[in-house]
Chains A and B, each alone.
Chain A
């Protein structure tokens, strides 16, 4: 068992190296120069030359890469070229924000998607099923940013119910934090909920057709009990897999949502960094995200092995 885990972890290393090279290389291919972005309006050639030297931007790209890797191995992700704040500090500041958004969005997605999926499967071909499907299709087709802006105008400007944007830390003011995050989490969660609903519906439909469901019904069990206890429980396995996949989509969707609601999270950090050619921040953030994905995948691999004894022999 331990050997299998060690094996998987070992395979992750070349992946990580490849990812780090891609981050570095792709970024260097962007037109534009961080030093010129830093030098501001004045574009003083002296300043540009000094900064280029300071950040080793005059070296060949492979040398820059080697220097970067050397620093990472020492736990140093560098500092923002624009503001001098260490990248590790920025990540520590922004990651909890995006995680809170992601978790709350997930709660919305599950809260909407799961019951709707179950209900529409149980009522296949009836009005409720069609209604839920129309809702899901709408949810999937509405662009994130549009829904966000419309909600800001309705909920915050017109009805003045919720704050329109920004972020409050839960340690500072728990309820205000939840209230501020409610709209963005809903916007982000709605599209995922719609997808989840479709997956739940099809998983439920195939389970509900199986023999043991018919047997359970024939025994005279209540319909609701059969659907929830016998149906949903077995349909959950593919649904959980989809959920894990959707979590990645969630992080990507957070980039746009954070822009609309001006939430100072990971997404906003990276978008601003790309526009300013703040190499250190882009590299650091993407690297941390990549490491996160690799770790989650590793974790999932291990989980499968734990859940399915047949995999242990391979």
Chain B
């Protein structure tokens, strides 16, 4: 009898150990998380944590199609001004409050009205929100907004428990959402810990019990932690480590081209530092022709810096396949410069200082010099680069954008005359008209030709040189199974498990 008991106890303890080994995933992040309030968040890395912690109204699939999440279906009225959502029933927040139409209204109102909300401009087209019944909510728009649905897949559509909404400091330090994992603790610069929420509506699809996010900014150290087994997975592997991870028999490498891009922005007319030469599109085209994107991809990118020639990602249905990435052509670049009246050109390149951007700047310097363009390098830290770009304190700017699902988010604010992120102040009424128009047309069929036209114009005018698509390279232990990458770079843990 005692033997049997002992055996049972042993079996129980081994199964407990196995459950334990399958229960926790430790994910290394490139940056520390900012605020944990979806309404205030302004960093990509925040979204990686949010995707396990909070549910939004709708989500995207790997093909960028909008799929149900907290809303099960939606419809747009005939005048394109009322977006009605049918909500999932039986959903609970982590504090057991029920999810319903009133909660949606309260959340959207908060994101629209809170003074420090980073979601205000994303939700600017909303006039008001109506609670139709407990599980139906209608968003009434001031004017048609084709990008709104895609916006609601992100932080603008994330729902917090209504009782917590009035305590802004509380939300940013311990958010109460309705996602598959609930918040346990956060130690700044060290970790964010989430625990599985047993009451989640889709709980059986999440085998992992505990998620620990650890910010480790140094990519070498991040990889060392993965190799030593202190991490199970990491995001944004350094391009220079791709080959090493691929050849490591204990690790898997998965990469995906993201929604975002890295680009060179010309200061066309922002303040007194804007070089006269940049007003001439032939000069801008000469830069484009002097750059060899394939060489950048091979030398710096480790093969994951997919060359691009437009702002819309290739995963998007709005991608214009007819726009080809420019091939390097030095004689043509020189000819264009000469036609514009320049034999030699001296330009300063401003960039946020890190390993990859430093390599990039040096490579650009070498490539451009062959066309007679002397690049002076000005590395700054990120905060200073941000300041310089807004103030127009730059000539040429190397910058990245994390990208948005809807094409509007990758184009409108960067190239329209009054665009918020139009650092070079390029202004062309034709581009404005097209991009404004595409915002209010409701369907893909109507919008696609407009974006094609705008992008053809931009490809010729070249106010921004799109260099390569932002990659999302992940490295993970072979034990991690079932991971699917998405173009938005978020780590969705649905179906992910850890083999003991």
Residue positions of A touching B, CB distance < 8 A: 30-34, 36-47, 50-51, 54, 79-80, 82-85, 90, 93, 149, 152-153, 156-157, 160, 163-167, 259-262, 264, 268-269, 272, 275-277
Contacts and interface: CB of A to CB of B under 8 A. Distances in A.
B190 interface: yes
Contact of B383 (A153, A164, A275): A275
Given A33-B387, A164-B225, 12 more contacts: A32-B383, A41-B42, A42-B118, A42-B420, A43-B390, A44-B120, A47-B117, A83-B188, A163-B230, A164-B224, A272-B32, A275-B383
Contacts of B122: 42
A80 to B, nearest CB: 7
A44 B187 contact: no
Contacts of B116: 47, 50-51, 54
B41 A40 contact: yes
A260 B218 CA distance: 7
A31 B388 contact: yes
Interface in B302-344: none
Interface of B: 32, 34-36, 41-44, 115-118, 120-122, 168-169, 172-173, 187-190, 214-216, 218, 220-221, 224-225, 227-230, 380-384, 386-388, 390, 401-402, 420-421
B272 to A, nearest CB: 17
A277 B380 CA distance: 13
A277 B188 contact: no
A44 B121 contact: yes
B401 A41 contact: yes
Contacts of A275: 381-383
Contacts of A54: 115-116
B418 to A, nearest CB: 11
B221 A149 contact: yes
Contact of A262 (B34, B35, B115, B221): B221
Nearest to B189: A264
A149 B228 contact: no
Given A32-B383, A36-B383, A163-B230, A84 B172 contact: yes
A288 to B, nearest CB: 16
Given A40-B34, A44-B420, A84 B169 contact: yes
A50 B118 contact: no
Contacts of B381: 32, 275
A72 B136 CA distance: 50
3 nearest CB pairs, A to B: A40-B42, A32-B383, A264-B190
Given A54-B115, A82-B34, A36 B386 contact: yes
17 contacts: A31-B388, A32-B387, A36-B390, A37-B386, A40-B118, A44-B118, A45-B420, A46-B121, A51-B116, A83-B188, A84-B172, A152-B224, A166-B214, A260-B218, A269-B188, A275-B381, A275-B382
A40 B228 CA distance: 33
Contacts of B383: 31-34, 36-37, 275-277
Contacts of A261: 221
A260 B381 CA distance: 19
A176 to B, nearest CB: 12
Contacts of A82: 34-35
B357 to A, nearest CB: 15
Given A31-B380, A44-B121, A157-B227, A260 B42 contact: no
Contacts of A36: 383, 386-387, 390
Contacts of B225: 156, 164-166, 262
Nearest to A30: B384
A139 to B, nearest CB: 22
Contacts of B188: 80, 83, 85, 90, 93, 264, 269
A187 B187 CA distance: 24
Contacts of A45: 420
Contacts of A39: 42, 118
A165 B229 CA distance: 11
A128 B36 CA distance: 58
A44 B116 CA distance: 10
B345 to A, nearest CB: 26
A42 B32 CA distance: 18
B417 to A, nearest CB: 15
Nearest to B34: A82
Query: Which of A45, A46, A167: most chain B CB closer than 10 A?
Result: A46
Nearest to A180: B230
A31 B387 contact: yes
Contacts of A31: 380, 383-384, 387-388
A43 B420 CA distance: 7
Given A40-B43, A164-B224, A262-B216, A268 B189 contact: yes
Contacts of B215: 262
A95 to B, nearest CB: 13
A162 to B, nearest CB: 9
A164 B42 contact: no
A191 B295 CA distance: 42
A259 B189 CA distance: 10
Contacts of B230: 156, 163-166
A28 to B, nearest CB: 13
B465 to A, nearest CB: 19
Contacts of B189: 262, 264, 268-269, 272
A167 B190 contact: yes
B245 to A, nearest CB: 13
A127 B138 CA distance: 86
A23 to B, nearest CB: 18
A46 B120 contact: yes
A121 B421 CA distance: 66
B224 A156 contact: yes
Contacts of A262: 189-190, 214-216, 218, 221, 225
B221 A165 contact: yes
B216 to A, nearest CB: 5
Query: Which of B121, B187, B383: most chain A CB closer than 10 A?
Result: B383
